[in-house]
Amino acid sequence: MNRNLYQPINGGIVDIIDESPTIKSFVLVLEETFKFETGQFVELTLPGEGEAPFTPSSSPSDTKKMEITIMKAGRVTALLHECEKGQKVGIRGPYGKGYPIDDFAGKDVYIIGGGVGLAPIRSLFLTLVERIEDFKSVICRFGAKTPDDFIYKNTLFDSWQKIDGVDIKLTVDDANGNWAGNTGVVTTILARDDVNIPNAVVVVCGPPIMMKFTTLKLLEYGFPTEKIYLSMEKNMSCGVGKCGHCMLGKYYVCKDGPVFTYDQIKSYPNIWD
Ligand SMILES: Cc1cc2nc3c(=O)[nH]c(=O)nc-3n(C[C@H](O)[C@H](O)[C@H](O)COP(=O)(O)OP(=O)(O)OC[C@H]3O[C@@H](n4cnc5c(N)ncnc54)[C@H](O)[C@@H]3O)c2cc1C
Ligand code: FES
């Protein structure tokens, strides 16, 4: 029998990690095996309160638990931030289309992220690293408002930087304390020769303003529009292509996205709103 589209799988929060002043990661264990592809999203239900869409930040290969990184933005996310270990939750999904990882094989994978946009990027990064020999290189350029605002500090500042085949550069808008890295928005650490453009794909995920200026810079460098992958966020309701809340031109972001190439959506106005 087919599962009801809207019926969540039960689960619970087994750990909570404070990532930054406004962002926490929640480690969930679900009562049923849950498969997803990196870049797809889920609807997370807080029973009796509501639900919201999030992109898992863990690798799909970790079938024992799922991690979701959540920025406090409004009602449901604020309630989630008040939860403690043991809280029951529900997950429905996975929904939408993720990153076409197999198409990235043999290429330089250029990953540009900012803020809580590092959540889907973490899932992608972990997936790429599991089969790093399949890719020419994995080049990451990440930004945050301040050093405190970086999420995944434990791994980002340390073990990820030591992986063979991976090159990571970080920047902050406002340096403070001991920050020895670059200061400036993420486009200030992008360079035309970071990757071999004819043999590269680019993944961009972050706040709309960051995605806009990053995309403009990539176009200026000569990246083809069909090689720029953007993770788009729109207000969503059903998550399954029924309610029309998430329309972007002819596309339903929940069903046809959330990952799109710039080529697919470039002709629509207000894509960065
Ligand atoms: C596919 C997808 C994946 C996402 N992944 C993550 C993730 O991994 N981590 C994370 O922290 N957040 C993620 N988000 C955003 C997250 O869903 C919203 O922050 C959340 O729905 C806000 O719910 P709320 O009840 O707390 O806020 P509300 O009280 O509903 O609203 C707070 C404010 O945020 C606005 N808002 C609500 N949802 C969105 C949205 N989707 N886009 C833009 N503005 C919105 C409202 O208009 C309002 O101004 C994702 C969104 C989408 C569509
Ligand atoms: S959220 Fe309902 S159609 Fe996309």
Whether the pLDDT of residue 7 is over 90: the answer is no
Distance 137 CA to ligand 2 centre (A): 35
- In ligand 1, the atom with minimum distance to the C-alpha of 68 is 8
CA pseudo-torsion sign 5, 271, 72, 17: positive
Distance 124 CA to ligand 2 centre (A): 24
What is the token pair recorded at 150? 């970086």
Mean pLDDT estimate for the chain? 94
- In ligand 2, the atom with minimum distance to the C-alpha of 237 is 1
Whether the pLDDT of residue 177 is over 80: the answer is no
Residue among 16, 20, 22, 54 to mutate when testing ligand 1 (max atoms within 8 A of CB): 54
Residue 69 neighbours by CB distance under 10 Å: 24
Give yes or no for residue 246 CB within 6 A of ligand 2. Answer: yes
CB 35 within 8 A of CB 81: no
Confidence of residue 2 (pLDDT cuts 50, 70, 90): low
Angle at 136 between CA 131 and CA 137, to 5 degrees: 85
Buried b vs exposed e over 212-227: b needs ≥16 C-beta within 10 Å?
bbbbebbeeeebbeeb
Query: How do residues 229-259 score in pLDDT, each as one tens digit?
Result: 999 988 788 888 999 999 999 999 999 999 9
How many Å apart are CA 130 and CA 35, to the nearest integer? 17
Burial of 168 (0-12, 13-18, 19+ CB in 10 A): middle
Q: Token pair 């039960």 is at which residue? A: 10
Give yes or no for residue 76 CB within 6 A of ligand 1. Answer: yes
Output the residue whose Cα is nearest ligand 1's atom 53: 233
Give yes or no for residue 238 CB within 6 A of ligand 2. Answer: yes
